[in-house]
Structure 1
Amino acid sequence: MEQLQHAEPVFWIAVCCPSATLTVWTSAWLSGAAASDDVLDALLAWGEAHEVVAADAESAVGLDLPPAGDFPATPVQLLAALRSRGAADARLVLPVPGDVRGLGGGGPFTEAALRAGEAVLFPSLGFGLVPQPIAEGLVRWSVYKVDSGAPEYVGLAEAEHGLTDAIRDSAGALQALDVAKDRPGVRAELSAWLRARPRPEWPAGTPGRALRVLQRAEEVGAILAVAEIDEPGGALSASAATLRADALRPLGNAVRRARYAAVNEAVRQFSEQADRSQ
């Protein structure tokens, strides 16, 4: 791969998903702020091996990738295809049922992204990627042709304020749920959840505010993950479980929006740096 001076990366902020890692590092690479080997190294946090296949004929032809069922391509081949086709940058999407903005409507890509809860878009090329763990240490990236424009832009300040508001508005519900009441080890659970999160390196030049918002979103995400665990022995009634889910849903949406905004703000700044250097 090409040689590039390696700047000191930021490495201590957890990341929500493989798509976020690929989105930021590929954008940094396309803008000249990272080497292709840095992209490959960052993906190792999610699996020892990654493979790439085309999920449809247009992707196979458009990016010269093997179809599913044939011997898969490597991430190196994917990066080469993106470069040769003139990709500008990537965008992260984190879809959930009822919110599929940026996916271009229905179809196989939307269905796959919803199952995964994540995807990477290359709007300038009209392709999207969805990761799927298929074996221990192995992640498959399926590439789809996507007929959509650029995903919705969410400002980092807007997302950060939304997360703050959701925390405040959910405080009463969280207190009523009293996650720690019958679980004295809840603090240990939170710490263990955070320690278990992958912590791939982030490119040098990633905006500090975006990293801070990501860190806060991960901390709140840990609280949500622990709060959603069933009571010991499955003692939580169906009605209580429904109330809990309803109370936590706005906070979960705010966390998802904060992650989306932080990653895509980093992408935007890398793109602007590249434009200024031309």
Structure 2
Amino acid sequence: MSSPSASLALWASSWLAGVSAPDDVIDAMADWAPMHLLVAADEASAQLTGLSWPSPRADGVASVLTAIRAQIPSPSSDAVIELLLPGPGAVENLPPSTGFARAALNAGQAVVVGLAGTDGLAFVPTVEGPDVMRWTVFTVDVLSHYVHDFSLGEAEFAMRDAVRGAADALGSMQSLPTRSTGGDARTRIANELSELMRHRYPVDVPERALRVLESADRVSAILSVARTFAPTEAPTAAAAMAREELIRPLWAAVRSARLSAVAAGIASSVPRT
């Protein structure tokens, strides 16, 4: 699992479908941090949700689930649980010029929960310390449709190409003159993958979505290692530009693939009427 928001989106949808127990969700989120703080983003959100503001409380993941259940109290075709992974040039699903948009961009992730076409909640995580994660809760308009760059089939195809492209990028990065002392690339990639794979998926995530997520993790691990072989202080402007041209489209493909795969996992489990 690549992020706390991806974990929350998949596990919450599995819980709402009755496949996973609350303790399963709490255990999965505890792998990210043993303590979870919850706070409303502003006074209006606090009044709507009953959450504390402006100081967070150590309410834990159980309170996150309570807030989600309040938004989706029963099975509905309008139920929305949406993972967002915004970044530079990828803000299509964010409400412009809002506190939520700024927070989600800074975090690079968020989860939107509610019924389509109504006011819902958005959860944005930030790391407060080695063992503490803070969830800031915003009131947002829940869209009836969220933009995805890929279908699941397209994401699977894109990840096959991206695995090869990432390996080529790593080879090119290692040939650039840098200040990195390096190390064994395969070992470092394995360590990156091990960190991503220690976070579990619910049992109801479709096998095809899991394949896409695992491929995205593999590409991400290779790119992360490649980046350390060519650190920010590249010796020449040309080397820095060459590095960015190699990795930018690959990171974009990883982001799109993760969004598509998580959306497919949620669609398979969110309760419907």
> Do they fold alike, i.e. is TM over 0.5?
yes
- 2:162 paired with 1:159: no
Note if contact 2:173-2:229 (Cα within 8 Å) is conserved in structure 1. no
Could you say which residue in structure 2 is the equivalent of 1:248?
A: 247
> Pick from 31, 38, 57: which aligns with 1:45?
31
SS in 2 for 1:161: helix
Alignment of 1:195-274 (within 5 A): 195-197=194-196, 199-231=198-230, 236-271=235-270, 274=271
Deviation at 1:169, TM superposition (A): 5.9
Give the structure-2-normalised TM-score: 0.85
Deviation at 1:67, TM superposition (A): 1.1
Q: Deviations over 1:23-46 (max 9, x none)?
A: 000011111111111111110110
Deviation at 1:168, TM superposition (A): 5.3
Q: Give the unaligned 5+ runs of structure 2.
A: 74-78
Could you say which residue in structure 1 is the equivalent of 2:40?
A: 54
- 2:97 paired with 1:102: no
Could you say which residue in structure 1 is the equivalent of 2:76?
A: none
Deviation at 1:167, TM superposition (A): 4.7
Change (3 A) 1:180 1:82: same
The 2-side partners of 1:262 and 1:69 are apart by 35
Deviation at 1:227, TM superposition (A): 0.9
Note if contact 2:36-2:132 (Cα within 8 Å) is conserved in structure 1. yes
Q: Deviations over 1:141-177 (max 9, x none)?
A: 0001123514224421122223334455666655443
Alignment RMSD (CA, Å): 2.5
SS in 2 for 1:163: helix
Deviation at 1:189, TM superposition (A): 1.2
SS in 2 for 1:247: helix
Q: Give the unaligned 5+ runs of structure 1.
A: 1-14
The 2-side partners of 1:233 and 1:132 are apart by 24
Identity %: 37
